[in-house]
C-alpha cells in the first residue's frame, strides 16, 4: 500500500486544456503522416487537414502552458538556466517537463513547416520552393521525424504526472501510454468530423473509422492497465470515488461507438441509399457526428478525471 503525504500542485484547467490540445496536435500529425505513408492518394485531403490543425493546436498549447505559470514572463526559464554562475541551456533529461518543453519547441517547428506546406498545397499561399523541397524523400523525412516528436508530445504529459509523488499519478507508469492511445482516438474522430465537411476529404472517413476502432480498443486496454496498476497501491478508490466513477463510465462509453464503427456515416449512407430512406440518412449522419463528438468529449473527460481526481 502506498502512503502519500504530498500536497497537490493545483494543476487545473489550463493544464487540462494543454494536455487535451497536445494530445490532439500530436495525434493529428501522426495520423496525417500515416495516411501519407500508407494511404492512397485519396487520403491526401484529410492528411492535409491534419497538418493544418496540428500547428494552431501547438500554438494554443504554448499559450496555455505559459499562462498557467505563476510567472508567465519567465516561461523561457524552462529552456535557459538563469542561476548566477550556472547559466546555460536547461536540458534536464530526467525531468519530463524539461524534456517536454524542448519537444514542444521542436515539434512546433516541424508542425509549422508542415502547416505552411499544407497551405501551399491547398493553394492558399504561394511557396513553390517549400513544396519543391518537400516533394519526395524530403517531405517523407519531415513527416516521419515530426511524428516521433508528435507521439512524444501526445504521451509525455502522462509521464509528467507519473514522475511525481502524487497519489494516483505516481502509482502508475501507464498514464503516458493511456494518453497517447486517447490522443490517437480523439484525433481520428476530429479528422473524421472535419473531413466530412471538406470537399475531397470525406472519402477517408471509413479508414479513419477503422483506425479509431483499434485506437479505442487500445485505450480501453490501457484504462484497464491503469486501474490494475493503481489497485496494489490502494489508490484505485481515489480515482473512482464519487462523481469520478460516473466520469470514468462516460469515458468508457465514449469508446464504444468507435469500436463498433458507429461514427462512420459510410454504412449509414449505404443502407439509406439502398432503401431510399432519406430520413434515415439524415438521422444516421447526425448520430455519427454525435458519436465522434462524444469521442472527443471522452478524451477531455479522461484527462480531467486523471488530473483532478488525484488532487481532490
Partner 1 sequence: MPEPVGFFTDTSICIGCKACEVACKEWNQLPGNAPKFGDGFDNTGQLDAENWRHVKFIDLVPEAPAIVGNGNPWLMMSDLCKHCKHASCMEVCPTGAIVRTEYDTVFIQQDVCNGCRDCISACPYGAIGFSPISGTAHKCTMCYDRLQNGMTPACAKACPTQSIQYGTLSELQQKADARLAALRTQGYENAQLYGRDDSIYGGLGAFFLLMDKPEVYGLPNKENAGLPSRNNLGGYLGAFFVAAVGVLAGMVSFRRGTTVAPSPTPGPTQPRERPAS
**108 to 137, contacts with partner 1 by CB under 8 A?**
121, 131-132, 134-137
The window from 53-61, 161-169, 234-242, 292-300 that contacts partner 1 (CB under 8 A) reads 161-169
Site for partner 1 in 219-258 (CB under 8 A): 222
Cβ neighbours around 138 below 10 Å, total = 12
Q: Report the nearest approach of partner 1 to the CB of residue 201 (Å).
A: 7
Q: Which is nearer to partner 1, 98 or 112 (CB)?
A: 98
List the one residue from 25, 151, 168, 300 that touches partner 1 (CB under 8 A): 151
List the one residue from 63, 105, 206, 293 that touches partner 1 (CB under 8 A): 206
SS3 88: strand
The window from 55-63, 88-96, 237-245, 297-305 that contacts partner 1 (CB under 8 A) reads 88-96
The reply on whether position 155 binds partner 1 by CB under 8 A is yes
CA distance 82 to 175: 32
Q: Which is nearer to partner 1, 77 or 293 (CB)?
A: 77
The reply on whether position 17 binds partner 1 by CB under 8 A is no
Least Cα distance to 196 among 274, 262, 282, 289 occurs for 289
Instruction: Give me 138's grid cell.
Output: 524530403
Instruction: Give me 181's grid cell.
Output: 492511445
CA distance 239 to 105: 32
Q: Which is nearer to partner 1, 62 or 206 (CB)?
A: 206
List the one residue from 25, 103, 218, 296 that touches partner 1 (CB under 8 A): 218
List the one residue from 14, 62, 63, 77 that touches partner 1 (CB under 8 A): 77
Q: Report the nearest approach of partner 1 to the CB of residue 246 (Å).
A: 26
Site for partner 1 in 51-70 (CB under 8 A): 68-70
List the one residue from 17, 23, 158, 186 that touches partner 1 (CB under 8 A): 158
Q: Half-sphere exposure (CA, 13 Å, Cβ side) for 240?
A: 13
List the one residue from 28, 64, 159, 305 that touches partner 1 (CB under 8 A): 159
Least Cα distance to 178 among 278, 39, 301 occurs for 301
**DSSP per-residue string spanning 218-254:** HHHHHHHHHHHHHHHHT-HHHHHSTHHHHHHHHHHHH
Site for partner 1 in 282-311 (CB under 8 A): none
x/- letters, 165..204, toward partner 1 (CB under 8 A): xx--xx--xxxxxxxxx--x-------------xxxxxxx
Q: Which is nearer to partner 1, 217 or 245 (CB)?
A: 217
Q: Which residue is associated with the grid cell 434515415?
A: 280
Q: Which is nearer to partner 1, 181 or 236 (CB)?
A: 181
| Cβ-Cβ contacts under 8 Å for 164 (sequence gap 6 or more) | 6, 9, 170
Q: Report the nearest approach of partner 1 to the CB of residue 3 (Å).
A: 5
Instruction: Give me 304's grid cell.
Output: 480531467
Find the length of the chain.
Answer: 312
**Positive or negative torsion for Cα 251, 151, 193, 274:** negative
CA distance 194 to 190: 6
- How big is the CA angle at 14 (ends 10 and 19), to the nearest 5 degrees? 100
Q: Report the nearest approach of partner 1 to the CB of residue 56 (Å).
A: 20
Angle between helices 243-259 and 278-311 (to 10 degrees): 140
The window from 53-61, 241-249, 264-272, 293-301 that contacts partner 1 (CB under 8 A) reads 264-272
The reply on whether position 3 binds partner 1 by CB under 8 A is yes
Amino acid at each position: 500500500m502506498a502512503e502519500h503525504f504530498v500536497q497537490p500542485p493545483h494543476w487545473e484547467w489550463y493544464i487540462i486544456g494543454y494536455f487535451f490540445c497536445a494530445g490532439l496536435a500530436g495525434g493529428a500529425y501522426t495520423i496525417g503522416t500515416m495516411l501519407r505513408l500508407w494511404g492512397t492518394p485519396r487520403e491526401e485531403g484529410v492528411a492535409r487537414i491534419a497538418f493544418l490543425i496540428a500547428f494552431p493546436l501547438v500554438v494554443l498549447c504554448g499559450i496555455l502552458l505559459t499562462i498557467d505559470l505563476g510567472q508567465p514572463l519567465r516561461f523561457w526559464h524552462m529552456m535557459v538556466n538563469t542561476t548566477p554562475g550556472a547559466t546555460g541551456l536547461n536540458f534536464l533529461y530526467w525531468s519530463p517537463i524539461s524534456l517536454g518543453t524542448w519537444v514542444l519547441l521542436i515539434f512546433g517547428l516541424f508542425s509549422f513547416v508542415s502547416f505552411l506546406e499544407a497551405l501551399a498545397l491547398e493553394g492558399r499561399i504561394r511557396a513553390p520552393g517549400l513544396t519543391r523541397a518537400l516533394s519526395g524523400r524530403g517531405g517523407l523525412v519531415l513527416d516521419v521525424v515530426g511524428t516521433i516528436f508528435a507521439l512524444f508530445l501526445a504521451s509525455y504529459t502522462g509521464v509528467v504526472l507519473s514522475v511525481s509523488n502524487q497519489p494516483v499519478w505516481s502509482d502508475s507508469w501507464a498514464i503516458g501510454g493511456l494518453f497517447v492511445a486517447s490522443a490517437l482516438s480523439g484525433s481520428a474522430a476530429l479528422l473524421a468530423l472535419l473531413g466530412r465537411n471538406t470537399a475531397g476529404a470525406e472519402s477517408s472517413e471509413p479508414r479513419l473509422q477503422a483506425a479509431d476502432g483499434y485506437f479505442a480498443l487500445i485505450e480501453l486496454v490501457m484504462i484497464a492497465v491503469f486501474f490494475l496498476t493503481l489497485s496494489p497501491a490502494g489508490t484505485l478508490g481515489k480515482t473512482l470515488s464519487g462523481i469520478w466513477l460516473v466520469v470514468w463510465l462516460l469515458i468508457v462509453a465514449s469508446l464504444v461507438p468507435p469500436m463498433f464503427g458507429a461514427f462512420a456515416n459510410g454504412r449509414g449512407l449505404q443502407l439509406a441509399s439502398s432503401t431510399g430512406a432519406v430520413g434515415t440518412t439524415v438521422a444516421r449522419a447526425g448520430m455519427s457526428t454525435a458519436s465522434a463528438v462524444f469521442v472527443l468529449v471522452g478524451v477531455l473527460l479522461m484527462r480531467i478525471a486523471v488530473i483532478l481526481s488525484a488532487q481532490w
